[in-house]
């Protein structure tokens, strides 16, 4: 089983998964847990970012005692209350965001939460299950072309979070397109099961992404003063992208519903056609079975029972009956 307190490319230093001190020019230096606990800005452009596992003992106490975060807020940051939300607390920004779960064995709709707290000088991000988004943002810093301040660091995290959602939505659209193109194979219970799974994923993703849209709007409209104008503009772009993804989910859901109705209609039509064919066959053999049963009775008095030509006479009569039935069925447009 995958250990939720570890990551593939980092080792825990206390509760710290990794830490960086931004230099204000797009780069950053690594920082350990003990140094992070005692860190003070060495210049006006420095920003501390620590990414932590919130399930490790002592995280909540450090948030309260080390950073002076109010106890209810610290409780929110370390709890399992993962519904996306964002609000301003004095000069600090508090948010809970959710991303797609790409961990082994997980379904796309099993979203992973990330809590964050920032006062413009320190950014604290916390998670329980591994999340790729912080690592994407960290890579930009390590390569020297990342965020330059706390605001751009938050916008980078939200951009990567939303960008990864697009992959799951694109996969859903591809699955629907494949089912629509495979008209011959898209029938029966298996096709209906696939479509139901697509609809379920669409509903689950939208259920979590809609509150995230509201959370990002709260950040854009009510962020503290250190969240600058260009940061608000970047968040507005992320909000617009997320809105488009929500619209894509609606389209995917409606397409799946139309496809489901089409599959059901074709299945009913095929079943109806099969039943009609069976009815025609049964109708053809009904008088023949009657004649065979009548002449096959083991009683005396059966006409022509001793006539050597009687068999072929009966076969001829049956052939004429079948021909008459076919002509009648054709006029009735049964086939």
pLDDT for position 30: 93
pTM confidence score: 0.70
Residue 11 lies in a domain: no
Query: Per-residue pLDDT tens for 72-100?
Result: 999 999 988 778 889 999 899 999 998 77
Residue 76 lies in a domain: yes
Domain co-membership, 301 together with 234: no
Q: 237, 265, 293 — which closes off a domain?
A: 265
* Parent domain of 282: 276-331
Residue 102 lies in a domain: yes
Q: How far apart are CA 50 and CA 196, in angstroms?
A: 41
Query: Per-residue pLDDT tens for 244-295?
Result: 888 888 888 888 888 888 877 777 777 787 888 788 888 888 888 887 777 7
Domain co-membership, 146 together with 104: yes
Query: Per-residue pLDDT tens for 178-221?
Result: 777 776 555 667 777 888 888 888 887 777 778 888 889 989 88
Domain co-membership, 313 together with 213: no
Tokens found for residue 305 = 């029972």
Residue 61 scores a pLDDT above 70: yes
Q: 245, 265, 285 — which closes off a domain?
A: 265
Domain co-membership, 300 together with 173: no
Residue 106 lies in a domain: yes
Helix (H, G, I), strand (E, B) or coil at 86: strand
Contacts 24+ apart (CB under 8 A), 260-263: 260/192, 260/195, 260/196, 260/199, 263/186, 263/187, 263/188, 263/191, 263/192, 263/195
pLDDT for position 46: 92
Tokens found for residue 10 = 């980092």
Q: 242, 265, 288 — which closes off a domain?
A: 265
Domain co-membership, 174 together with 281: no
Domain co-membership, 196 together with 150: yes
CATH number, residue 181: 3.30.460.20
CATH number, residue 325: 1.20.58.340
Query: Per-residue pLDDT tens for 119-136?
Result: 999 999 999 888 888 998
Domain co-membership, 194 together with 296: no
Domain co-membership, 247 together with 112: yes
Domain co-membership, 81 together with 50: yes
pLDDT for position 105: 52
Asked if residues 227 and 219 have their Cβ atoms less than 8 Å apart, the reply is: yes
pLDDT for position 12: 62
User: pLDDT averaged over the chain?
Assistant: 82
């Amino acid at each position: 089983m995958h250990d939720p307190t570890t990551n593939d490319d980092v080792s825990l230093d206390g509760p710290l998964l990794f830490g960086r001190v931004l230099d204000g020019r797009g780069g950053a230096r690594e920082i350990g847990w003990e140094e992070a606990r005692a860190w003070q800005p060495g210049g006006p452009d420095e920003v501390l970012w620590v990414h932590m596992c919130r399930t490790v003992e002592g995280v909540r106490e450090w948030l309260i005692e080390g950073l002076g975060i109010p106890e209810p807020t610290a409780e929110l940051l370390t709890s399992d209350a993962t519904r996306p939300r964002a609000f301003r607390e004095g000069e600090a920004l508090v948010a809970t965001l959710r991303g797609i779960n790409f961990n082994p064995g997980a379904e796309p709709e099993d979203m992973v939460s990330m809590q964050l707290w920032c006062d413009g000088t320190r950014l604290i991000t916390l998670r329980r299950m591994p999340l790729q988004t912080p690592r994407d943002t960290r890579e930009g810093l390590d390569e020297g072309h990342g965020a330059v301040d706390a605001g751009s660091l938050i916008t980078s995290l939200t951009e990567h979070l939303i960008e990864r959602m697009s992959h799951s939505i694109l996969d859903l659209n591809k699955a629907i397109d494949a089912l629509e193109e495979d008209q011959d194979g898209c029938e029966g219970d298996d096709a209906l099961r696939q479509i139901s799974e697509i609809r379920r994923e669409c509903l689950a993703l939208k259920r979590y992404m809609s509150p995230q849209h509201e959370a990002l709007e709260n950040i854009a409209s009510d962020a503290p003063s250190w969240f600058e104008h260009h940061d608000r503009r970047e968040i507005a772009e992320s909000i617009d992208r997320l809105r488009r993804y929500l619209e894509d989910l609606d389209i995917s859901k409606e397409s799946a519903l139309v496809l489901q109705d089409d599959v059901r209609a074709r299945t009913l039509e095929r079943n109806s056609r099969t039943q009609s064919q069976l009815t025609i066959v049964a109708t053809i053999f009904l008088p023949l079975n009657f004649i065979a049963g009548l002449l096959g009775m083991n009683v005396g008095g059966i006409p022509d029972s001793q006539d050597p030509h009687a068999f072929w006479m009966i076969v001829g009569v049956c052939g004429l009956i079948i021909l008459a039935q076919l002509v009648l069925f054709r006029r009735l447009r049964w086939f």
